[in-house]
Chain A
Amino acid sequence: MDVLLLSRLQFALTIGFHYIYPPMSIGLGLILVMMEGMYMKTGLEKYHNMTRFWVKVFGLIFAIGVATGIVMEFEFGTNWAVYSRYVGDVFGSALAAEGVFAFFLESGFLAILLFGWDKVSKKMHFISTILVAFGAHFSAVWIVVANSWQQTPAGHHIVGSGMDARAEIVDFWGMVFNPSTIDRLSHVIMGAWQAGAWLVISVSAYYLIKKKYQDFAKSSIKIALIVAVVASVMQLVTGHSSAVGVSENQPAKMAAMEGHYEESAPAPMYLFGWVDDKEQEVRFGIQIPGMLSWLITGDASAPITGLREFAPEDRPPVNIVFQTYHLMVAIGMVLILISLLGIFYWWQDTLFEKKWLLWIFVFAVLLPHIANQVGWIAAEVGRQPWIVYGLLRTSEAVSEAVSANMVVGSLVMFTLIYILLFAVFVYLLNEKIHHGPELAEEESLISGHRA
């Protein structure tokens, strides 16, 4: 295998693994603010217990997020040196802003969250929780700004040519608010809220099924369900708006998402299917004719740019984009359905008796993660063959000083470490869940289940 393919695999592996953690920090950050906010408002010990328990889980997630995040920052330079030279002037300032405005805030105040319960006042602890949640959200802002600039470059001009060409900033805010930033950022944040919310829902549902820590679990699941339902419904809005933006700014990606080859023809929407790139058609699919045209333009007969309008070397790999995109949408729908069911039974006051639903909730923790991963695969593979859309090809962006053997070595290293890390993470999370929250004496006497 060549150095390009290996570097792409390594980037995919390291970013995919890293992206398990930050969405949970972002979502859990919000939920911690809500839980501790309830504690501040009511003074009830159960909210205190909830915050303490979830803060510890947050700490574990955050530590792995930091450790795997540094890898990402290094990898731009190690594996994608030509890209780094090309985009540094534009991309670097967003990355530096991320460090200055987000990471310091998050890591600094996390110390107070974890170790500061007896060292600062309740109010100061609550403020720290808010700041950590802010920091987590800010970190998403700057990295999504940088990534969106790669998708829809704006606010820059190109200086030099050939090996010396690079993008330079002319309009900072034009770069920050490039055409896809807002849509993609809101889509990412809602996806992150779902990841955090479903972690809390899953663990709480497990406690409810096992009849442990009932009071704790009921209050936790209610807070998290509210976040889950809001985020999953909002995802319809942000997802729709993103798709409209993609069809406008990255028509080849949109066409790949629906396997739409024909030039200037109305486009259907597939519920599922299999793209045959050779025959340029979707097989075994069920489609709603004109649906894509209607969703994007409001007119079911409006033509949508097809893949044949692009030279073969300018098209992304179609089937990967099609499948990942459809899986993301399908999971999004399932998440809306089950979170609404949860809210409905909560309103009926029968949620905690619906064992079948609680079991679904236990395993639903995986759904937002799968959706986040495949959604990003659709977004990034859909951008190919460009690393910076329309400006720099991925094949031209790889480091010249790096050989295939070196990347094989590092790829093996990351694979082994990440398997180990993931195993240990799941083991420790599982232990923490089985150990349960530290409850005040009276409550544990009532439930009789103190671990």
Chain B
Amino acid sequence: MDLNIIWFILVGILFAGYAMLDGFDLGIGALHLFTKTDEERRLMINSIGPVWDGNEVWLVTGGGALFAAFPEAYATVFSGFYIAFMAFLLALIFRAVAIEFRSKQPMEWWRQMWDVGFAFGSVLAAFLLGVAMGNIAYGIPLNENYVFAGSFFDLLHPYTIITGITTVALFMMHGAIYGVLKTEGELHDKLRSWVQNTIIFFILSYAVTTVFTLLYVPHMASMIKAHPVLFVVPLVTILAIANIPREYTKNNDFRAFLSSSAAVISLLALFGLGVYPNMVYSFPYPEHSLTIYNAASSQKTLTIMLIIAGIGMPLVIGYTSSIYYIFRGKVKLTEESY
């Protein structure tokens, strides 16, 4: 296994970490407007209160690692998806400041305004992440200098819209399950009933995505066809999803959350397997694709980065886990809460 493959996996892990962690934040945001009273909404926001910005750091670090390890891919994707990424930034800014600002004033219109900002930002961010992934899977037109040669509307077509919706559905399911874990009483029961709906929503959209992928984006399946042992990855996804209702009937909220997290991670792994060895697949000119080799930094940089990751990531995982441990249990509203 060479350094390029290791970094492909490590960047993947950072983005998978982001999807697993900020995924439930975005899911909570997407479900936010379905709760009606101020207390319920405060509980929703405070369930992610201490952790959401740490979760967002996974995206920042993933983006930084992509920039450092595969600068060509970073430059091509970020400039090519210009309008989509600007909208994504808009969504993230609104999500972040809505959380911070909402609780600072008691007026109803004030809180309603930031509630809408929080929900709108969360749904849009999740949708655009899915659209971006759909485009990477489907392929985008690149010229011989690996520069995006299409327009914004080339990025929005049925396949990418479906992957966008699937991502929203996935995060809503993941967020509902996280919400169940963190709440009690009436809101807990409400969220529990939503878990079922969001699972159905997700399974339907995921099924459509899979059919579309196999029909129209067959290269996403070529790696698994060549190495049948890799079928274990989609199998884990299916088993993880199937396990969620099973844990619920036994009231194992935490295990249900772990299953949902496993589903998110295995979906990202499946995506990575499908894309590999490309970073950005060029369609209709596959010879202009950016791969993990022609998009990468020098071996020296990849080595330095591996040392940085080797020192830094255990620390990150260490204190991320201790912070989740400190804030374990049901969320309670106190004077420090949002």
* Majority-rule SS of B interface residues: helix
Q: How far is the CA of A110 from the CA of B50 in the complex (A)?
A: 8
Q: How far is the CB of B114 from chain A (nearest CB, A)?
A: 10
| Contact status A67-B93, CB under 8 Å | yes
A 38-86 contacts with B by CB, 8 A:
59-60, 62-64, 66-71, 73-74, 76-79, 81-82, 84-85
Q: How far is the CB of A135 from chain B (nearest CB, A)?
A: 10
A 143-174 contacts with B by CB, 8 A:
159, 163, 166, 168-170, 172
| Contact status A409-B86, CB under 8 Å | yes
| Contact status B89-A168, CB under 8 Å | no
| Contact status B334-A84, CB under 8 Å | no
Q: How far is the CB of B103 from chain A (nearest CB, A)?
A: 10
> Which residue in A62, A71, A100, A116 is a CB contact (below 8 Å) of B313?
A100
Q: How far is the CA of A60 from the CA of B101 in the complex (A)?
A: 8
- What A residues does B323 contact at CB under 8 A? 108-109, 111-112
B82 interfacial contact with A, CB 8 Å: yes
A313 interfacial contact with B, CB 8 Å: no
B51 interfacial contact with A, CB 8 Å: yes
- What B residues does A168 contact at CB under 8 A? 297-298, 300-301
Identity of the chain B residue whose Cβ is nearest the Cβ of A73 in the assembled complex:
B63
- What B residues does A118 contact at CB under 8 A? 334
B5 interfacial contact with A, CB 8 Å: no
| Contact status B93-A417, CB under 8 Å | yes
* Majority-rule SS of A interface residues: helix
Mask of A379-419 contacts with B, CB within 8 angstroms, 1/0: 00000000000000000000111100010011001000100
A431 interfacial contact with B, CB 8 Å: yes
Interface size of B by CB at 8 A reads: 68
| Contact status B64-A88, CB under 8 Å | no
| Contact status A70-B56, CB under 8 Å | yes
Mask of B143-170 contacts with A, CB within 8 angstroms, 1/0: 0010111001000000000000000000
Q: How far is the CB of B109 from chain A (nearest CB, A)?
A: 14
A424 interfacial contact with B, CB 8 Å: yes
Q: How far is the CA of A62 from the CA of B54 in the complex (A)?
A: 12
Mask of B197-224 contacts with A, CB within 8 angstroms, 1/0: 0000000000000000000000000000
Q: How far is the CA of A311 from the CA of B158 in the complex (A)?
A: 54
B 36-89 contacts with A by CB, 8 A:
49-51, 53-54, 56-57, 59-61, 63-65, 67-72, 74-83, 85-86, 89
Q: How far is the CB of A314 from chain B (nearest CB, A)?
A: 26
A107 interfacial contact with B, CB 8 Å: yes
When A115-B327, A406-B82 are in contact, do A100 and B72 touch as well, CB less than 8 Å? no
| Contact status A77-B75, CB under 8 Å | yes
| Contact status A99-B64, CB under 8 Å | yes
Of A90-98, A177-185, A236-244, the one contacting chain B is: A90-98
Q: How far is the CA of A74 from the CA of B59 in the complex (A)?
A: 11
- What A residues does B298 contact at CB under 8 A? 89, 159, 168-169
When A93-B305, A111-B327, A116-B326 are in contact, do A68 and B79 touch as well, CB less than 8 Å? no
Identity of the chain A residue whose Cβ is nearest the Cβ of B328 in the assembled complex:
A119
Mask of B309-338 contacts with A, CB within 8 angstroms, 1/0: 100110110011001001100000011110
B304 interfacial contact with A, CB 8 Å: yes
When A95-B68, A99-B57 are in contact, do A109 and B312 touch as well, CB less than 8 Å? no
> Which residue in A64, A87, A100, A401 is a CB contact (below 8 Å) of B316?
A100
B96 interfacial contact with A, CB 8 Å: yes
B189 interfacial contact with A, CB 8 Å: no
When A81-B78, A400-B79 are in contact, do A88 and B297 touch as well, CB less than 8 Å? yes
When A84-B71, A85-B72 are in contact, do A78 and B97 touch as well, CB less than 8 Å? no
Q: How far is the CA of A118 from the CA of B332 in the complex (A)?
A: 12
> Which residue in B63, B79, B90, B315 is a CB contact (below 8 Å) of A417?
B90
Identity of the chain B residue whose Cβ is nearest the Cβ of A407 in the assembled complex:
B82
A333 interfacial contact with B, CB 8 Å: no
| Contact status A68-B93, CB under 8 Å | yes
| Contact status A119-B72, CB under 8 Å | no
Q: How far is the CA of A402 from the CA of B86 in the complex (A)?
A: 12
| Contact status B93-A107, CB under 8 Å | no
Q: How far is the CB of A118 from chain B (nearest CB, A)?
A: 7
> Which residue in B54, B68, B147, B319 is a CB contact (below 8 Å) of A401?
B147
| Contact status B67-A78, CB under 8 Å | no
When A95-B68, A96-B308 are in contact, do A66 and B300 touch as well, CB less than 8 Å? no
Please name 4 further chain A to chain B contacts, defined as beta carbons within 8 Å, in addition to the given A71-B89, A96-B69, A111-B50, sorted by A numbering: A78-B81, A401-B80, A410-B82, A410-B86
B binding-site residues for A, Cβ under 8 Å? 49-51, 53-54, 56-57, 59-61, 63-65, 67-72, 74-83, 85-86, 89-90, 92-93, 96-97, 99-101, 104-105, 145, 147-149, 152, 297-298, 300-301, 304-305, 308-309, 312-313, 315-316, 319-320, 323, 326-327, 334-337
Q: Name the 4 nearest CB pairs between A and B, nearest first.
A: A88-B71, A77-B78, A92-B68, A99-B61
Q: Can you list 28 A-B pairs, Cβ within 8 angstroms, ordered by A? A: A67-B96, A70-B60, A70-B92, A74-B78, A77-B74, A78-B78, A85-B75, A89-B68, A97-B312, A99-B64, A99-B65, A100-B312, A104-B312, A107-B54, A107-B56, A107-B57, A108-B57, A108-B320, A112-B50, A119-B326, A168-B301, A169-B301, A406-B86, A410-B83, A413-B90, A428-B101, A431-B104, A432-B104
